[in-house]
Structure 1
Amino acid sequence: MQLFPAGLGVTLAMMFTMAVGSSAILAVAVSAPDSFPDIGVSDSYVGLFTGFVYFVSMFFGSFCTRFIARYGPIRVLQISAIASTLGLSFFTLATPTATVLCAILLGIAYGPINPSHAPVLLRVSHSGNRGVLFSIKQAGVTVGGAAAAGIVPY
């Protein structure tokens, strides 16, 4: 009997990318009480910001399978990481327009993350451990939220 399921290393890498994507979005929410007034908007708009990010994410996630088929899941994850970095970079400009661009880029980045994981995990799993591996990967959302809360200054 194996101590760890086959494909655990790949699953942990996918969990890490999920955590990074999640923490990028939640970093803005964590910093909102201090950063939003500097931008010129009330920190109560953090819910609107987060909702808009997830709306854009849902939109882009719904048709990203073409990109995954064409460029491969790893390349799409790399592009998502670049989009997250650019989005957070726009947030540092501290203007309302840059904050909207930040939300759009974070949504574009987050949408394809989960669909990109599926083909990778399907290659390294079998029917007996697939549920466990996908659950471990999905825990990255919670890990990312906790990381954002612990890392981002407020």
Structure 2
Amino acid sequence: MNIVRPADELLDQPFWRHLAAGQLHLNACEACGAFRHPPGPCCPKCRHIGEHWAPVSGRATLQSYTTVRHPVHDRLTSAVPYVVTLVRLAEGPRMISGIPPGERYDLKVGLELECKVISYDARFALPFFVPVAQVQP
């Protein structure tokens, strides 16, 4: 499958670097410790300017999902149908993701999920979410 890679943005470079190493890290406030995604220079909770990157559990709850049947980009033509998910991480932030290509699950809002990082090459990986019982080391 062809992958559409994100633009190289300064604020999210650490996010992609950690994923390439197989780990899910999020941007967190230096002052109150609140996690945020997408990353930003100012904490939306306490308005402090100052941040760091920290690992998160990868646990999440499914809030919504849809099956994409028409490609939204030419490079995704061979990928349809695929599932896009909206999950709330145990640490608080929401994240748009999906389930791994070719995998199928009986999804229901409220389902407990866990992050599965899939590498596409040495420098690029994506976080997907699967039902907790389905995660394999």
Q: TM-score, normalised by structure 2?
A: 0.26
Structure having the higher strand fraction is 2
Q: TM-score, normalised by structure 1?
A: 0.24
Structure having the higher helix fraction is 1
